[in-house]
Structure 1
Amino acid sequence: MTEMGSTTIEGEAHVINIGEVNKDLLASMHKKLSQTPTLLSNSAGRRSCCIFKVPQSLIDINGKSYQPHIVSIGPYHQGEPHLKMIEEHKWKYLASFLNRIKNNDLGLEDFLMAVKPLEMKARECYSETIHLNSDEFAELMVLDGLFIIELFRKVLGVVKSDPEDPLVTMTWILPFFYRDFLRLENQLPYFILECLFDLSKFPGENPSPSLATLALHFFNNTIQRPDKDIAKHHSLRGMHLLDLVRQSLIPSEIRDHPVNANIPTHVIHSISKLRRAGIKLKAVKAESFLVVKFRRGVIDMPTINIEDFMTSFLQNCVAYEQCHSSCSKHITTYATLLDYLVNTAKDVEYLCDNNIIENNLGTDGEVARFINNLGKDVGFDIDACYLSKMFNDVHEYYRNSWHVQWASFKYTYFDTPWSFISAFAALILLILTILQTLYTVIPYYDH
């Protein structure tokens, strides 16, 4: 039946009233159907996309660990007021660089022309739509890219720097560069840096180090690895600087390690529980802190220095591995291992006493909080991680009742001198009580 311009269709189960559709609403919905996402672009799921805005869930946990504190690199934080100081010095560095190469038949236009063909490929590296026109985007890539390269060269003495350059001489600035250059939201595509680096080399740089060597030596001022470890990565390429340093810390012995994802993997307990089961942790020397092994009741772990740079680096590596669908999850696996091992400040104290952690961050409680936050709200496939066999081996050892009972007895009565003295005194008291009882009973039976 029809009533006041509307139609009622009666069915067995329900009644549907069909009235006139608001044409403005209809037009608005059709417009939205054709819109392209900008906050997470269509290219965000591709392998080529590697520079992401960090998910809000991780920001809620780790705060400003993903945002630059002193220098903006790339489009995400461009123009933010607190980064203006270094923005001015970028132009000073660019002018100094152009003046240095003016006799090599190269000018600013050559660098702009070099990055122009790479524009679309570079835009697709960002998970969000970049609202810059073609000229603005090229300017940003050249300005930020050459600033990074020139800073590398000056800090490492590849080219002569101004003895009064505050970016090099003021001791508080460089530590912020180390951290800001390795924040996920603060990256340039590595192929852009390579393009600018190759074009900017000149005869005075002889022998000329590769971009990877230059970058890794720059960050080695804080990571501090032997030169021979860096030399192995002369030709290493990353998606950006964060990925380059991340990859350089993954030795081939674990990068190429086969994983049997068909075998269910078990989580392991905290240090306090493992110790009660007789499992110890021992500091060892290795190429990377990622090389963790278990043998005969001992977990071998290389020393890691927990301080401002390392906490920021680990947090941004985990965020990158969470966002990039195609990269390995080695740092996430290591972060999860630490999260399993550490529940309290006491666990951190044990790791510090055994030289597995060098605590340059704060109290043991602060380190424990950092470790627990590092593994929080993180997607992780334990069956497909590089430590899956180690987790299972520790679990099997822990399940062995003989190990647990004997270790628990030792832990309870022989862990400290005072517990041993107490146990020994109790044993003596028990023996004296038995002897006294015997001396009392024996004369009775003699009669």
Structure 2
Amino acid sequence: MGTNSHGVKQNLEHPIKVWELNQSRLALMHQKLAETPRILSRSAGRNTCCIFKVPQSLIDINGRSYQPHVVSIGPYHHADPRLKMIEEHKWRFLGTLLHRTRSKGLVLEDYLKAVYPLEIKSRECYSTEVPYDSDEFLEMLVLDGCFVIELFRKFGGVTAFESDDPLLSLSWVYAFFLRDLIRIENQIPFFVLECLFDLTRLPNEESGPSLRNLALRFFDNAFQRSDESLEKFEGLKAKHVLDFLRSSFIPDRYQEPTQSTYTNTNVIHCVTKLRRAGIQLKPGKEDSFLAIKFSRGIIEMPTIPIDDFMSAFLLNCVAYEQCHRACSKHMTTYATLLDCLINTSWDVEYLCDRNIIENYFGTDAEVARFINNLGKDVSFDIDMCYLSGLFNEVNNYYKNHWHVHWASFKYTYFRTPWSFISALAALVLLILTVFQTYFTVMPYFHPSS
């Protein structure tokens, strides 16, 4: 301790520290204030934005289901060294396409000129800032777009594969192409594909299949839909390939309501509890697995195959709907329905036995785990979803006590022959016991003369 000139004691061990402004830190703060977000750009909130980086919360649940495994399409995974093998074949496909369209007087520069007016519009489709200059971005759009179109043409029979083409001879490649072309992070705008498709269409192809028809044919083996049903999707609007395929499954009669007709809608119970309440599940006859009906205690659900492709398709559709503000939530609603119905492998087994699920995915337990992850951490307005009416009807039926008690009795005692025999034996034993008691007690009340 010490004293100053006025005799006031001072604490020399703890001097008062005067804060000084750090000019470099202040300059850095001003720089950050001036910067615009890049990882989630401002365009991500607009209706024009339709190609997204998937949130980390979904990646934590479903891993690499949203990222390409063999081929990159678009800027998010461009130049990934893991995907270099197919990247080389993109240039081969572009070369054969240029050779074929030379008869129209087209050269590579014409392709770039055709896409150039679409550059700004294309950049606005991505939720993150595209880290490529104009020339690189246009090159990528042309290279990736022509590769997708040529795949559709070759597998659609419009253009022949070369006899020794490794992409045809290696059977595993097609399966990976199917899955990679429907991943949300692996898309380019559909209007770019349309521009390049129209540009490279030869005169003898004018009466041939359209781009939409070829796209549906490419995925036909995976979806297992009839060729007759493909024609009705010609006028369907699309933002990219995933959006087009997703929209093709939404039936006209199952659109989301424009205003809520229900309040306080709740999800339904699992298969096991519904069966105990007398509610049955049967396979529906509609083309789309989204077309679900409920009437007189019976839920009709069209058959859906669960395999590696369909699992990737459902996961990416749900992620797309979660990210796109102007998108309906049909797949999210369907995923929630499956998540409600399935709690255990026993629920999956029952749905497989009823031909509602065709399991090519793995064990029943693996399917149950996939379905539960599919419906995890998703959000939507249940009062405004396309199944809100069905949810309310099923719950009202479930709450009918007469139905529940009678169905529970039948489920407990008449589900199998052994349970029925046990119940019948117990009933006979009860009747015999009553008769024995009766004949034992009666002499005391009515003694014989």
User: After TM superposition, is the score higher than 0.5?
Assistant: yes
Q: What is the rounded CA distance, in whole Å, between the counterparts of 2:426 and 2:245 in structure 1?
A: 57
Residue deviations 1:263-315, cap 9 Å, x none?
A: 22121111111111111101111020000111000111000000000000000
TM-score (norm 2): 0.94
- Contact persistence 1:271–1:347 (CA under 8 A): yes
Letter in 2 for 1:270: C
Letter in 2 for 1:290: L
Letter in 2 for 1:33: L
Match of 2:260 in 1: 260
Match of 1:60 in 2: 60
- Contact persistence 2:41–2:128 (CA under 8 A): yes
Match of 1:194 in 2: 194
Match of 1:4 in 2: none
- Contact persistence 2:257–2:384 (CA under 8 A): no
1:193-342 counterparts in 2 under 5 A? 193-255=193-255, 260-261=260-261, 263-342=263-342
**1:446, distance to aligned residue in structure 2 (A):** 3.4
**1:232 alignment partner, SS class:** helix
**1:256, distance to aligned residue in structure 2 (A):** 6.2
* Identical aligned residues as a percent: 62
Match of 1:125 in 2: 125
Q: What is the rounded CA distance, in whole Å, between the counterparts of 1:18 and 1:190 in structure 2?
A: 61
- Contact persistence 2:260–2:383 (CA under 8 A): yes
Letter in 2 for 1:398: Y
Q: What is the rounded CA distance, in whole Å, between the counterparts of 2:168 and 2:365 in structure 1?
A: 34
Residue deviations 1:26-77, cap 9 Å, x none?
A: 1111111000111001101000011101000000000111110110101111
Residue deviations 1:341-365, cap 9 Å, x none?
A: 1110011011001000000000000
Match of 2:108 in 1: 108
- Contact persistence 1:190–1:237 (CA under 8 A): no
Letter in 2 for 1:306: I
Q: What is the rounded CA distance, in whole Å, between the counterparts of 2:368 and 2:60 in structure 1?
A: 18
Higher mean alpha-carbon deviation, 262-271 vs 315-324, is at 262-271
The Cα RMSD (Å) is 1.4
- Structure 1, unpaired ranges of 5+: 1-16
- Contact persistence 1:259–1:386 (CA under 8 A): no
Q: What is the rounded CA distance, in whole Å, between the counterparts of 1:212 and 1:328 in structure 2?
A: 21
Letter in 1 for 2:244: L
**1:103, distance to aligned residue in structure 2 (A):** 1.4
Match of 2:423 in 1: 423
Relative to structure 1, the CA distance from residue 259 to residue 423 in structure 2 (aligned partners, 3 Å threshold; closer, same or farther) is farther
Q: What is the rounded CA distance, in whole Å, between the counterparts of 2:21 and 2:216 in structure 1?
A: 63
- Contact persistence 1:210–1:235 (CA under 8 A): no
Aligned residues: 432
Match of 1:26 in 2: 26
- Contact persistence 2:262–2:388 (CA under 8 A): no
- Contact persistence 2:342–2:368 (CA under 8 A): yes
Q: What is the rounded CA distance, in whole Å, between the counterparts of 2:292 and 2:230 in structure 1?
A: 20
**1:37 alignment partner, SS class:** coil
TM-score (norm 1): 0.94
Q: What is the rounded CA distance, in whole Å, between the counterparts of 1:307 and 1:300 in structure 2?
A: 21
Match of 2:153 in 1: 153
Runs of 4+ in 1 over 4 A off after TM superposition: 256-259
Letter in 1 for 2:277: A
Relative to structure 1, the CA distance from residue 256 to residue 335 in structure 2 (aligned partners, 3 Å threshold; closer, same or farther) is closer
Higher mean alpha-carbon deviation, 203-212 vs 100-109, is at 203-212
- Contact persistence 1:47–1:325 (CA under 8 A): yes
Match of 1:439 in 2: 439
Letter in 2 for 1:264: N
1:55-94 counterparts in 2 under 5 A? 55-94=55-94
Residue deviations 1:162-194, cap 9 Å, x none?
A: 121121232111011111000000000111101
